[in-house]
Amino acid sequence: MKPVRIHRPGEPKTPQPPPRLLVLADTLHDPSVIQCGITTTNDGRWALYVTVPAGIDVPIASVERSAEGFPVVYEAALDEPVRAGPAFPGRKA
């Protein structure tokens, strides 16, 4: 299957993510992964969040193994970077 285009996280079941998940998000290295972080699943479980190319098939076995049993949310990378603009266009500072 292909990664989701836009992930909508759910309300977290606990106030803070597990410390081990934070470590995994900082140390995950895989050639298919563009970005890595943490999020929650639709039902509120803390999960590893990875951005991958839109055309790639997921789940990715090496990422799943690295996740140590935590859920993995795969989101497709945007075709172009988001363009940041002024917060209040036309307003003088």
pLDDT tens-place string over residues 9-53: 999 999 999 999 999 999 999 999 999 999 999 999 999 999 999
pTM, rounded to two decimals: 0.82
The amino acid occupying position 37 is G
Residues above pLDDT 90, as percent of the chain: 78
With respect to residue 93, please indicate whether it lies within any of the assigned structural domains: no
With respect to residue 31, please indicate whether it lies within any of the assigned structural domains: yes
Cα Rg for the chain, rounded, in angstroms?
Answer: 16
With respect to residue 5, please indicate whether it lies within any of the assigned structural domains: no
Per-chain mean pLDDT for the chain: 92
Q: Which of 49, 47, 17, 46 is nearest to 33 (CA)?
A: 49
- 38: tokens are 């943490």
With respect to residue 11, please indicate whether it lies within any of the assigned structural domains: no
With respect to residue 24, please indicate whether it lies within any of the assigned structural domains: yes
Q: How many domains does the chain have?
A: 1
Q: Which of 49, 63, 67 is nearest to 9 (CA)?
A: 49
With respect to residue 87, please indicate whether it lies within any of the assigned structural domains: no
Domain around 25:
19-76
With respect to residue 83, please indicate whether it lies within any of the assigned structural domains: no
**What is the C-alpha to C-alpha distance for residues 2 and 74, in angstroms, rounded to an integer?**
9
